[in-house]
Amino acid sequence: MDSDYDIYDMDSEPEPEEEDFFSDEPIINSHNQKDYTILKDTDIHQLIKDDISKTTTILSVKRDVALALLRHYNWNMTKANEEWFANKLEVSKAIGMLLEKEETTSLDSNLVNCGICFEEYTVDKIAFAACKQHPFCKGCWECYISTSINDGPKCLVLRCPNPSCNMMVGESMIVKLASDKDKLKYYDYMFRSYVEENRKIKWCPAPGCEYAVEFEIGSENYDVICDCSNDFCWNCLDEIHRPIDCNTIEKWKNRNFEEAANTKWILAFTKKCPQCNKSIEKNKGCMHMTCVCYYQFCWLCLAKWDSCIGGCNGFEENKEVKEAKKNILRYTHYYERWVSNEKSKQQALKDLNEMRNEGVKKLSELHSLPETELEFIIQAWQQIVECRRVLKWSYAYGFYLPEEDKVKTQFFEYLQGEAGADLERLHHCAEQELLDHLGSTKKLDYTEQGSYKNYERFRSKLIGLTKVTGNYFEKLVTALENGLKDVNSKEYKRKREIPMSNITVDDSSMWACDRCSFLNADYYTVCQMCVVD
C-alpha cells in the first residue's frame, strides 16, 4: 500500500477505473451489472476525505470532531449524522469532545507546569487535548503521541494523558506534533480502519492483493471478481460458489476435514489404464485421457471415452457393501470429482493467463493475424474457468441432495451430466484442437482457401461452444438455486434429445441446432458446437 498522510491535505484525485474489456461477452457470472466497486489505494484515500468533508459541512463541526464521529460509528456517515442530531450531548461525551458549557483552564502566568515532567514552560511551549484543562509540554506530547502510534491502531482514539480525563486528542494535534514517520503510521492505521471497520468494504482475500471492494448493501448477488483476477464470495470470503450457499460451503469443508483420513487410501494422483494397466498421471485440464496404448477413457470413471464424454456424474449404489463403507464411497465419489474439477480449473486458469500474457501475441505474429481476431480464444478459456468452478461446486450440491428424493436426484444428475459433457467438448477444443489449428510452428497461408476455411471452422466451433456452454451452465445454476422446483425433467430431456435439423428463421441463410438452439450463418450442414470429433 502506498501509505500517505495527504488525507489531511484533501488534494489528490482518484485514478479512473479500467474498463472491463470483455464485459459484453456471454460469459456466465460476468457481472455486467456489478453490485460492487474495486477500490485502489487512491480511491480509499479519496473516500475518507469525502466522508470527513461531508460530515464537517452537514454538522457544522471541526474536522477533528467529524473524524472522531466517523471513527466512533465505524465510518457509517448516515448513522453518525443521525445520532448527532438525535442526542448531541451523549454523542459528544462518547467521542471525547469538549462541550461549550465546560470550563477551560485560564493561563494567567507566563510559566506553566507540565503535568508529565513537572517542569515549568512558557505558554508557547504548552499544548492541550480537547479538554483545554491539562497542560503538557510539547516534548512530552511528542513522546506520548509517538509511543501511542507505535503501540498500534488505538492511537486513532487517543485521549488526554491525564488518567482522569477522557477528552480526545484530535488529528490536528497529531499532524502538528508527530514526526513524518509517525504520521505515515497514523494514516496507515486510519486507512486500514476505513476498510476493516466499514460494513460496506472488505479487503480482497487473495494473498498479496491490496485491492478493497465496496459492496452495495442489500444486493442478493455476493459474487465478486477482483481486479487481481481473484473471485470470492462477499459474504463468506471463500471463492465464488454458485450454485450452493455459504452454509453448505461450511458443511462441505468440515466434512472434507473429517473425512480426510478415510479418503486418503482411496484417492491417488495416478490411475491405471483400463486396457494396458499402466499408471497414468493427469497433466491436462479436461477428463479425456489417451494412454500410450492409444486407449481413450474418462479420468473419473475409467470408462471408454466414447461412452462417457463427461457424463459419469451419477453415483451408483452397490447394494452389497455395508452401510458405513457405502457412505465413505458415496462421499469419495463426490469428493474426487470436486477435487478433479478444482485441479482442472487451476490448470485452465494457468492456460488462460499464459494465453492472455503471451500466447495470443505469439499466435498473432506466427500466423499474421491481428490480436483482436484471436480474442475468441481468451473468451473460451475464461468460460472454461468459470464452468469448471460451477461444476466443482455442483458436486457439493449433489452430495447434500436428499438420497430419498430419487426424482430430484436423477434430474440433477442429468442436468449436471449434460453440463459436464458440454464443458468437456469446449475444454478439449480449446486445449487440444487449438494446437491442431493454430499451434503449428509452420506459418499458415490464409490466402489459400483451404487454410482459411479450416481456421474459420475452428473459430466458429470454439465461439459456438463457448456460448452454448455458458448459456447451459447459467441455466444449470439457475435451476439449482431454485431448488430444482420449477422444471419438468422428462419434458426437458425429450427436448434435448431431438435430432439436429435445420429450421426456418427470419434470415433464410441461417439455421439453428435443435440441441443448443445456436443460430449459425455459416455453410456447415451440422452444428459445429455440438458435434464430437
Contact 62, 506 (CB under 8 A): no
CA distance 348 to 354: 10
CA distance 380 to 467: 9
Reduced DSSP (H G I as helix, E B as strand, rest coil) percent helix, strand, coil of the chain, to 5: 50, 10, 40
Which residues lie across from 159 on neighbouring strands? 168
For the chain, how far is it from start to end, CA to CA, in angstroms? 51
Q: Which of 493, 314, 310 is nearest to 409 (CA)?
A: 314
Ordered DSSP codes for 228-264: TS-EEETTT-S---TTS-HHHHHHHHHHHHHHHHHHT
Read off the C-alpha cell for 2. Answer: 502506498
Contact 443, 367 (CB under 8 A): yes
**Annotated catalytic residue: which of 140, 226, 286, 312?**
286
Q: Which of 99, 86, 94 is nearest to 59 (CA)?
A: 86
Kindly report each contact of residues 97-105 with a partner whose C-beta sits within 8 Å and lies 24 or more positions away, as own/partner.
97/65, 97/68, 97/130, 97/167, 97/168, 98/130, 98/131, 98/132, 98/167, 103/133, 104/131, 104/132, 104/133, 105/132, 105/133, 105/134, 105/135
Region of residue 499 (phi > 0: left; psi between -120 and 50: alpha; otherwise: beta): beta
CA distance 224 to 410: 32
Residue 465 neighbours by CB under 8 Å, 6+ apart: 380, 422, 425, 426, 429, 529
Contact 128, 134 (CB under 8 A): yes
Contact 54, 77 (CB under 8 A): yes
114 annotated active-site? no
Q: Looking up cell 443460430, which residue turns up?
A: 519
Residue 310 neighbours by CB under 8 Å, 6+ apart: 287, 298, 417, 420, 421, 423, 424
The dihedral built from the CA positions of residue 458, 460, 465 and 470, taken in this order, carries a sign that is positive
For the annotated catalytic residues, the residue numbers are 286
